[in-house]
A and B are shown apart, each in its own frame.
Chain A
Amino acid sequence: MPASARRLWGLVRKESLQILRDPSSIAIAFVLPLVLLLIFGYGISLDAEEIPVAVVLQGDSAAARDFAAALDGSRAFAPRLYRSRAAAERSVLAGETYGLVVLPWDFERRLGGGDRAAAQALVDGVDANQGRLIAGYLDRAWSGWLQGRTTDARGPAVELAYRVWFNPSMRSRQYLVPGLIAIVMTLIGALLTALVVAREWERGTMEALLVTPITVNQFLAGKLIPYFGLGMAAMAFTTGAAWLLFDVPLRGSLWVLFACGGLFLLAALGMGLLISTLARSQFVAAQIAIIATFLPAFILSGFIFDIASMPGPVQALTYLLAARYFVAILQTVFLAGDVWPVIVPNAAALAGMAALFLGLTRLATRKRLD
């Protein structure tokens, strides 16, 4: 074995032993992802079911009771009946119900009249998204109920049929869990390396490394290789858990998933190394790693909030995030399959970012003590 390869091997071995013997690294790589996967996977859901709504029956007509029963029969609602509007409003304020439907005392007559609103509904708008979904469910429940009541067989002039591609049951988990892999990998890649190199500076072991004959390239490769292995192991672990626990289909191919995962990991590790090389303090490195990688990966990557709905300048900012490209690949490979027009440009962007961060780290790392 040539001397350079032997030195590199020695460094890789030292780093790997350090990872294996430090319980906190193993915890970050395996326990944390599992905990995050469980908390995010079960805790974040946009699917509302059995929403408690207050139904105010001002009169006791058969039609009003029939509509309340129709709401009860739908999977979306769990109605609670009230006599007075004031009591229903109090239940919304107390957070017990998410809105109220007022069926007036002359509900039956208004249904026949047709010239004004037969009934009124107020949805709790504090959670705007939930409010919008509930309003939509109410609309649908109302028109479905009306259709069932009319005696003549004529339906609406135009009938609308929905179909949802790639996620026919419209479960939010199916789109959130693939993106979650990007969040977990960001955490491992950036946070772990950010802490590791900064720790060497703080503890003074960096100086010990500087006096050895290894080159800067060997030093960086020695840091990268073990953490790359750890990151890929964590990715396999998270992908398996996503598949087993959450029943998310994988319609694309596994090798595309892992090839893109490798590119993303290189970019994330490069960013982590760069942060820790520049910061040289664990506190600042961890702060920057959380601020510059984890939170943006959560909010700006398209993991949960749709990028196309963000204002222009914020959208421009998302192009600087590696997680954005990886989330797009993950959602597509899991739910739609190997769609090359999505995969190729995003993978190219990941490769570019990996090269950029690793190149900058190479420039910022010098065998000097200043």
Chain B
Amino acid sequence: MGGLRASLGRIAGLVAKELLALLKDPKGRFVLIGPPILQLLVFGYAATFDISDVRMAVVNRDGGAASRALVARFAGSPTFHTVAAPDSVRQARPLVAARRADMVLHIGPRFGRDLARGLGPQVQVLVDGRNSNTAAITAQYAGRIVAAFNADHTAGPAPPELRVRAWFNPNLRSQWFIVPGLVGVLTLVITTLVTSLSVAREREAGTFNQLLVTPLRPPELLLGKTLPAVLIGLAEATVIVAVAVVWFGVPLVGHPGLLYLGLLLFMLSTVGIGLMISSLCTTQQQALLGAFLYIVPSVILSGFATPIANMPPLMQHLTYLNPLRYCLITVRGVFLEDLPAAVLVHQFWPMALIGALTMAAAAVFFRRRLG
């Protein structure tokens, strides 16, 4: 018992020292607190796939009442507005190439006459494909407007409808997807940086050797380096979750306890990886590069911005090694879907496993360095 108490005392001492070292240095403090909040605010607004404004060049070669009614439907929708009315598609193309318009609406000269005769005239929508995603969404919105126009110009009963609604995010707002994702990404960045630099900094300053002559045993050393990162990570995650709910208005429909359990398991895995990087590097520069080389691919291969299902199969398999993948499913699931614990377990155990393996590996690497 006495041994355990002494051991806990030693760990507490190391934790207090680590926290002081991180928080006393004004530059270090700034790096821990400023950027995450700033990034959350800027990226929460910037990272959106929603389209709010499509600049349209209208080539109306008919000019009759029906064609003007169709143009008015476009211009009257909240998404489209007319920026130019060139005489021909040939004249409209340079506008799109120069990015002064995003789309051309082309109505042929016999539109009104063919419509009245029921010949089904064609309307052309020409979209700037340099951003294929906005092009696809623009085409979809245009299709909806033309479908509504058709419904008003077709005699007889309306065709049967497939009513499509969105579940969990009824207005399909990108922010509800990105902001909970940022909880995971920023937690990853903070905890990985703190742990990967902690040992390298001591090595460069020469204080690591001093730690070695203290009565701290390797597992205690490891725990003393783990806990501060987890504490800081939990504190920052709490702030980010609060900003997501209060400032961005993202609904938190699931149980916060499940969210925290998921984040805690996630942090164990990121801290384990950070410590592995730390035990392999001798300088801060190497540790930073190592952390960077881990963070960037893991953000890309996590489903943070684009779906994992769109990746080639080999890459989809790689994502199973990535703790952020499980973290994002957990955070988004708890935030938006109220996923039950029975479903979340399948996300929890891989994170716990990765955490245990990387911690064990870090302990082995440390022991080798110490021995």
Q: Which residues of A contact B (CB under 8 A)?
A: 24, 28, 32, 35-36, 39-40, 42-49, 51-52, 92-95, 98-99, 101, 110-111, 113-133, 135-136, 138-140, 142-143, 146, 154-168, 170-172, 174-175, 191, 195, 199, 281-284, 286-287, 290-291, 295, 299-300, 302, 304-306, 308-311, 313-314, 317-318, 328, 331-332, 335-337, 339, 341-342
Residues B288-313 near A (CB distance < 8 A): 288-289, 292-293, 296-297, 300-301, 303, 305-307, 309-312
Residues B131-148 near A (CB distance < 8 A): 131-137, 139-140, 142-144, 146-147
Further contacts, 6 of them, CB under 8 A, given A122-B166, A128-B172, A199-B285? A48-B309, A128-B166, A164-B139, A290-B292, A295-B39, A309-B51
- For B132, list chain A residues within 8 Å (CB): 46-47, 164, 167, 170-172, 174-175
B157 adjacent to A115 (CB under 8 Å): yes
Q: A131-B166, A165-B126, A336-B97 are in contact. Are A140 and B137 (CB under 8 A)?
A: no
Residues B312-371 near A (CB distance < 8 A): 312, 315, 329, 332-333, 336-337, 339-340, 343, 346
Q: A121-B163, A140-B143, A159-B123 are in contact. Are A281 and B27 (CB under 8 A)?
A: yes
- For A332, list chain B residues within 8 Å (CB): 97, 99, 130
Shortest beta-carbon distance from A53 to chain B in Å: 11
Q: Is B31 on the interface with A (CB-CB < 8 A)? A: yes
Q: Is B208 on the interface with A (CB-CB < 8 A)? A: no
Contact count A vs B, C-beta below 8 Å: 323
List 5 tightest A-B contacts by C-beta distance, closest first: A167-B129, A125-B169, A125-B166, A118-B160, A341-B98
- For A158, list chain B residues within 8 Å (CB): 70, 115, 120-123, 146, 149-150, 153
C-alpha spacing A227/B142, complex, angstroms: 48
Q: A122-B167, A300-B42 are in contact. Are A46 and B311 (CB under 8 A)?
A: no
Shortest beta-carbon distance from A32 to chain B in Å: 7
- For B127, list chain A residues within 8 Å (CB): 162-165
Q: Which residues of B contact A (CB under 8 A)?
A: 27, 31, 35, 38-39, 42-43, 45-53, 70, 93-94, 96-100, 102, 115, 118, 120-137, 139-140, 142-144, 146-147, 149-150, 153-154, 157-170, 172-174, 176-177, 193, 197, 201, 284-286, 288-289, 292-293, 296-297, 300-301, 303, 305-307, 309-312, 315, 329, 332-333, 336-337, 339-340, 343, 346
B49 adjacent to A129 (CB under 8 Å): yes
- For B309, list chain A residues within 8 Å (CB): 48, 51-52, 98
Q: A122-B167, A336-B130 are in contact. Are A46 and B115 (CB under 8 A)?
A: no
- For B47, list chain A residues within 8 Å (CB): 299, 305
- For B136, list chain A residues within 8 Å (CB): 133, 136, 170
B31 adjacent to A114 (CB under 8 Å): no
B48 adjacent to A309 (CB under 8 Å): yes
A335 adjacent to B164 (CB under 8 Å): no
* B31: nearest chain-A partner, CB-CB: A287
Q: A43-B311, A44-B306 are in contact. Are A291 and B45 (CB under 8 A)?
A: no
Q: A43-B301, A342-B99 are in contact. Are A286 and B288 (CB under 8 A)?
A: yes
A165 adjacent to B129 (CB under 8 Å): yes
* A47: nearest chain-B partner, CB-CB: B310
- For B306, list chain A residues within 8 Å (CB): 43-46, 304
Q: A139-B164, A159-B121 are in contact. Are A335 and B143 (CB under 8 A)?
A: no
Shortest beta-carbon distance from B155 to chain A in Å: 9
Shortest beta-carbon distance from A159 to chain B in Å: 5
- For A135, list chain B residues within 8 Å (CB): 164, 166, 172
Shortest beta-carbon distance from B296 to chain A in Å: 7
* A48: nearest chain-B partner, CB-CB: B310
B162 adjacent to A138 (CB under 8 Å): yes
Shortest beta-carbon distance from B335 to chain A in Å: 9
- For B197, list chain A residues within 8 Å (CB): 283
